[in-house]
Structure 1
Amino acid sequence: MNSINQEISDKLKLIRNALNETGAMGIRLYRSDWFAWSTAGASNTVLLASETGVAEVLVTAEEAWILTDEIEAQRLQDEELPGRDESSNPVYKMHINPWADKAARESFVREVTNGGKILSDIPNAHESPLPMSLINQKRVIMPTELERYRQVGRLASEAITEVLLQAQPTWTECQLAGAGAEALWSRGLHPALTLVAGEKRLPLYRHATPKQEKLGRATMLVFCARGYGLYANLTRFVFFGLGQANAEIRNLASLHSQVHQIEAEALNLCIPNTPISAIYDALGQAYKQHGYPDAIRQHHQGGTTGYLSREIIANPTTSEILMENTAVAWNPSLPGAKVEDTFIILKDGGLENLTFDPKWPSIKVEGRDRPVPLEID
């Protein structure tokens, strides 16, 4: 059995463990993140803005299906569902309903589950939520997933470097966002989020959606890039003509060293069994020590990532703990400065930076390579 088949087989065991745990007869997975997880990286996405896709997964104690309609079935079979069992049969059977007859799908589900209890990632009035045991398993990255994640992180970081090396202060924010999206698409990645702030808007907004403003002398570009369902989250800055810039722009550059030190407090705590709330508290204390006691409340600080851009966003009451092989992306920020990369927490408690690009300028902070603003004369 090849690695993809083994991964799917292992995940079906986890799903069926949830059936045994809850006494349910079936599990339906509608959302794009769960679809990618359960199929070892396949995509049911057509409309990028939707959390659900054009197909779903249905698993019972004995069988597993992809439920879709006649518009999508052939493409999914040809391009998205490579898994095969030991007899070379598809791991997932296909159930195809006429696109205008959704009732046929619901009838099929009732039939194969004997009208019993169904769990779902988006439960309707007749379904129940997934158990936390399965949700937590989804957040732990398997070795085969990590190999795909490394590829996604490398491609995303190469894309952001490529684009910002070409950027000009006369470009608009929308131009830069478009170039970033093109760089991601050309590498087979979904530009799930592309934020851009130029000199004027950079000190004002943490979530700066692109506008028709000129970049000017300072620019931030943020990617949430999705490949195989996995998210690589990263932020980079460029300063144009910093040597000739005014004091305000030079001050923005100096803020990055403080953000690096604040981020280090979070990264140092990224070891298995650390409460995520403890990292939030440590970030809050770090902001205070640097003279920004309110900064913790001015933007979310990131958290765990994986098949969602943020699986868990850290806050003071977060009850979950970090686990081995969990991905994290922290994004501490001050007005005009931010740092962000995607890391995996390794077995020994170390961190692997999945979005590190050796071509991007960096400095050592607490022994880790951290990105600094690119300066272009």
Structure 2
Amino acid sequence: MNTTALARLRSWMETQGFVRFFVQQPENFAWLTGGGDNTVVTFRPVGAWLEITRDTVRLHSSQIEAGRLLDEEVPGIEVVRYAWYSPPSSEGPNDVEHDLTALRLVLSEKEQAHYRSLGQDAATALGESLRFADPDWSEYELAGAIAEELLSKGIQPLVLLVAGEERLFRYRHPIPKQRPLGRLFMGVICGRRHGLVANVSRLRSFGHPEAQHLNRQICQVEAAALEASRPGATLGEVLEKIRAGYNGIGRASEFENHHQGGLTGYRSREVLARPGNPTKLEPGMVLAWNPSLSGAKVEDTFLLTETGLENLTTDLKWPMMRVEGRLRPMVFEG
């Protein structure tokens, strides 16, 4: 169990006057168990939940899942089994009715260590796939290569987007299709392991004339976000810096065409940055900003520390350039 998370939840329960609390959402199950997974269908809870009291933690599970969960996800925990065809009715406060997001946002040292390992593996998996790809591939083929690399490292792709030259300039959420990659293409992943999610975007060019220029522009917008992401700043304040960054490159309207990211962790976006959002940044939080233009996007996953931002998804084999003092990914050429 994640003892820090459990203590935090119990403290919150006491303030709410709850003597017991039921947890079933995958992000909360993973958070409390130190990375346990109560899903079968992607990121949807299977028939298993935790019952938390001041002194105990019990697993309630269908007969189908109980053995696997005890063996592989939450060993040693007390379990209450029920027949798969007769689930009990849940009574009492639970994490469907009560949002626990705020309790999850500041990560412990152990969670940060898991994130560093995940981030490196996720960035490497995406980078290797794009470096190996060919312009004649379809988007499906690149998506398959990315998924293979991720899964070989134990990373579950919650989001997997691929756009070739034809679709990259048209859509911000390009679900892979049977279309050729062409001279410029992008891969985007939200990859999950130990319950945590790494968010990474990369682009590759085979001589596309606009690729590097567009990438430099969007990295200038991102630089405003990274510079503003300091302890004590609010998400709303950072978002206004991003808006100003689009203005600075003469592309003000692009701010409206896609969200800009926000806090990540046990979901790809724990808190999405919206205008005026009052959430204050603290050391131990993790950020994933993803500013974009038609034909360009930049995204990595950053841990906020007392001394600044730590890039958790750096790929040492990927070409980099320095933008406002930080190394940022270029478009891989050829």
What's the TM-score once normalised by structure 1's chain length? 0.86
Could you list the runs of 5+ residues in structure 2 that have no partner in the other structure?
A: none
Is contact 1:263–1:283 with CA below 8 Å preserved after alignment?
yes
Is it true that 1:304 corresponds to 2:251 in the alignment?
Answer: no
Match of 1:263 in 2: 222
Is it true that 1:347 corresponds to 2:313 in the alignment?
Answer: no
Match of 1:30 in 2: 24
Distance in 2, Cα, partners of 1:120 & 1:261: 43
Percent of paired sites with the same residue = 39
Residue 79 of structure 2 aligns to a residue whose secondary structure is strand
Of 37, 42, 51, the residue aligned with 2:36 is 42
Distance in 1, Cα, partners of 2:120 & 2:46: 26
Distance in 2, Cα, partners of 1:20 & 1:360: 48
Is it true that 1:78 corresponds to 2:71 in the alignment?
Answer: yes
Is it true that 1:222 corresponds to 2:188 in the alignment?
Answer: yes
Of 8, 12, 20, the residue aligned with 1:18 is 12
Residue 163 of structure 1 aligns to a residue whose secondary structure is helix
Match of 1:156 in 2: 122
Is it true that 1:141 corresponds to 2:141 in the alignment?
Answer: no
Match of 1:272 in 2: 231
Distance in 1, Cα, partners of 2:220 & 2:102: 30
Is it true that 1:121 corresponds to 2:91 in the alignment?
Answer: no
Structure 1 residue 293, shift from structure 2 partner: 1.3
Is contact 2:4–2:108 with CA below 8 Å preserved after alignment?
no
Match of 1:61 in 2: 54
Distance in 1, Cα, partners of 2:298 & 2:202: 7
Is contact 1:46–1:54 with CA below 8 Å preserved after alignment?
no
Is contact 2:237–2:276 with CA below 8 Å preserved after alignment?
no
Residue 250 of structure 1 aligns to a residue whose secondary structure is coil
Match of 2:315 in 1: 357
**Farther off after superposition, 17-26 or 225-234:** 17-26
**Are the structure 2 counterparts of residues 54 and 187 from structure 1 closer, same or farther at C-alpha, using a change threshold of 3 Å?**
farther
Distance in 2, Cα, partners of 1:54 & 1:231: 23
AA at the equivalent of 1:121: D
Is contact 2:205–2:211 with CA below 8 Å preserved after alignment?
no
Residue 52 of structure 1 aligns to a residue whose secondary structure is coil
Structure 1 residue 252, shift from structure 2 partner: 3.2
Is contact 1:31–1:53 with CA below 8 Å preserved after alignment?
no
Is contact 2:184–2:205 with CA below 8 Å preserved after alignment?
yes
Structure 1 residue 11, shift from structure 2 partner: 2.0
Structure 1 residue 51, shift from structure 2 partner: 3.2
Distance in 1, Cα, partners of 2:292 & 2:3: 41
Match of 1:86 in 2: none
Structure 1 residue 273, shift from structure 2 partner: 1.2
AA at the equivalent of 2:74: L
How many residue pairs get aligned? The number is: 334
1:82-121 correspondence to structure 2 within 5 Å: 82=75, 90=76, 92-103=77-88, 106=89, 118-121=92-95
Question: Cα RMSD (Å) of the superposition?
Answer: 1.3
AA at the equivalent of 2:230: I
Distance in 2, Cα, partners of 1:16 & 1:41: 19
Match of 1:183 in 2: 149
The C-alpha deviation readout for 1:46-93, integer Å capped at 9, x for no partner, is: 111x432342111012211111111111111111124xxxxxxx3x32
* Structure with larger Rg: 1
AA at the equivalent of 1:195: L
The C-alpha deviation readout for 1:209-256, integer Å capped at 9, x for no partner, is: 11100001000000100001100000000001x1xxxxxx31233111
Distance in 2, Cα, partners of 1:281 & 1:10: 34
Residue 44 of structure 1 aligns to a residue whose secondary structure is coil
The C-alpha deviation readout for 1:316-358, integer Å capped at 9, x for no partner, is: 131211111100000011100010000000122x111110011
Is contact 1:346–1:352 with CA below 8 Å preserved after alignment?
yes
AA at the equivalent of 1:342: T
Match of 1:126 in 2: none
Is contact 1:15–1:27 with CA below 8 Å preserved after alignment?
no
Is it true that 1:251 corresponds to 2:210 in the alignment?
Answer: yes
Distance in 1, Cα, partners of 2:210 & 2:6: 53
Distance in 2, Cα, partners of 1:95 & 1:216: 54
The C-alpha deviation readout for 1:292-318, integer Å capped at 9, x for no partner, is: 111111000000000000011111131
